Structure 1
Amino acid sequence: MANPQQARRAPLNRERVLHAAVALADGIGIEALSMRKLAQELGVVPMALYKHVANKDELLDAMVETVVGEIEAPAPGADWKSAVRRRILSARAALLGHPWAAEVIRSRTGPTPAVLAYLDSVIGMFRAGGLSVDLTHHVMHALGSRVLGFTQELFDAPPGAAPAAEPSPAAQTPYPHVMELAAAVAHDDGSVVGPGCDDQFEFEFALDLLLDGFDRLHRQGWSPRTNFPVS
């Protein structure tokens, strides 16, 4: 966090407000972020912030824009599949660096201009690779939030929940296949996919499956009219 005395010496501008807000949210969490705390961090009165952001909603949108600005630019000359993969993994790295960002993106009623520009660039990669508009439309639906590097798991553990106990091989259970799978993996803490899962591996595994599938459909000349004919 910035030294308030040093903060007072630097002129306040929108960029400085946003970078301070991102750093503060990284440190205390997005729920704890307030205009008052941000003003204290910057060494100014809260009213000074409103010259640069109209309200907290605008602040949150602008913070998302700042984080999205960290995503690596598309690599020139790469084939579409590797270019999309690299772009999405860069988005994942940016959002993992700011754990609150995915929550804020999900909470907004629509994408910010920076998010729209990012989505436009990814769509453009598919189109430049020769995928049809129809296929690209379905591709973006299939990717969902994964296009920005995060996924919503089927069941999220509640905050502070204890990790699941190791299943006993001899334990009787009405869910033998679930228990078999749970017992087969090496368990690590902190995974959002589930106890024992490597989030980055699981994300890349699913992403590669999707990209390979999109490529196969593209090579087959897939279209919704030929593959799902209307009776």
Structure 2
Amino acid sequence: MLKEKPALSVQRIVESAMTIADQAGLDALSMRKIAKSLNVEAMSLYNYLQNKELLLDAMVEAVVAKIDLPDPALPWKMEMMNRCSSAYQVLKTHPWAAHLLMARLNVGPAMLRYVDASHGCLLLAGFSHKDADLARNLLDSYIYGFTLQELTFPIEPDDYASTAAEFQPQLDSSVYPHLTALATEVASGRYHGKLQLEFGLELLLGALESKLKS
């Protein structure tokens, strides 16, 4: 007996689109490829999502829905740290998502919950609406920028030491003394040179806490 095909739905279309984008990037995404992955005709997708713009919005919504929301009943610094760390992990899993989050105006339910919970957490901590909004945008800018830099950096973290060792002889220590010393630290293994999300988050949240107390 033949198995009945799963019913087509927005969720299945979005999940398929995200899988394609995760594997090959947004440029590889098309309704035709999504339809092929679902074993349906491309035109049938338009009964659920009328154009690619709506599809991209739905993909952003699905990504944001995966990010942990801050719990207002718990300490705000810890919760904002967890929220930012969760956003980073989700965006790394979907390398195309950070750009879409920055480039599109999204007002779907998941995004609204995400912003509302984050803003509310900062308000309950004692920030004004203005400062809470500025703080949230500051943290998001850091997360998006950090993630994009890590995803697009041309050297793999495990290759930093060997790359520094290759680069070091090209440096004139009399002209670039500080950069030469840094390359020596990385090449020797005394400093790994890897980007550290928590370092920046701790500085930002510490500065926000100081502002709150001032």
2-structure distance, mates of 1:182, 1:140? 35
Superposition map of 1:181-220 within 5 A: 181-185=182-186, 197-199=193-195, 202-220=196-214
Q: Name which of structure 1's ranges 169-178 and 34-43 shifts more when overlaid on structure 2.
A: 169-178
TM-score normalised to structure 1 length: 0.75
The structure-2 alpha-carbon separation of the partners of 1:172 and 1:186, relative to structure 1 and needing over 3 Å to count, comes to closer
Q: How big is the shift at 1:130?
A: 1.0
**What amino acid is the match of 2:12?**
R
Matched, 1:172 2:172: yes
The structure-2 alpha-carbon separation of the partners of 1:159 and 1:211, relative to structure 1 and needing over 3 Å to count, comes to closer
2-structure distance, mates of 1:77, 1:187? 46
- Give the corresponding residue for 2:131: 135
- Give the corresponding residue for 1:31: 27
Contact persistence 2:76–2:121 (CA under 8 A): yes
Matched, 1:145 2:159: no
The structure-2 alpha-carbon separation of the partners of 1:157 and 1:217, relative to structure 1 and needing over 3 Å to count, comes to same
The structure-2 alpha-carbon separation of the partners of 1:182 and 1:171, relative to structure 1 and needing over 3 Å to count, comes to closer
Q: How big is the shift at 1:172?
A: 1.3
1-structure distance, mates of 2:140, 2:57? 20
Contact persistence 2:171–2:180 (CA under 8 A): no
Q: How big is the shift at 1:68?
A: 1.0
Contact persistence 2:122–2:132 (CA under 8 A): yes
Matched, 1:99 2:95: yes
**What amino acid is the match of 1:179?**
T
TM-score normalised to structure 2 length: 0.80
- For structure 2, the residue ranges without an aligned partner over 5 or more in a row are none
Alpha-carbon RMSD: 3.2
1-structure distance, mates of 2:48, 2:66? 21
Percent identity of paired positions between Structure 1 and Structure 2:
36
Matched, 1:111 2:112: no
**What amino acid is the match of 2:208?**
F
2-structure distance, mates of 1:39, 1:96? 26
- Give the corresponding residue for 1:126: 122
Tell me the secondary structure at the aligned position of residue 140 of structure 1: helix
- Give the corresponding residue for 1:9: 5
Q: How big is the shift at 1:81?
A: 0.6
Q: How big is the shift at 1:152?
A: 5.2
Q: How big is the shift at 1:176?
A: 2.6
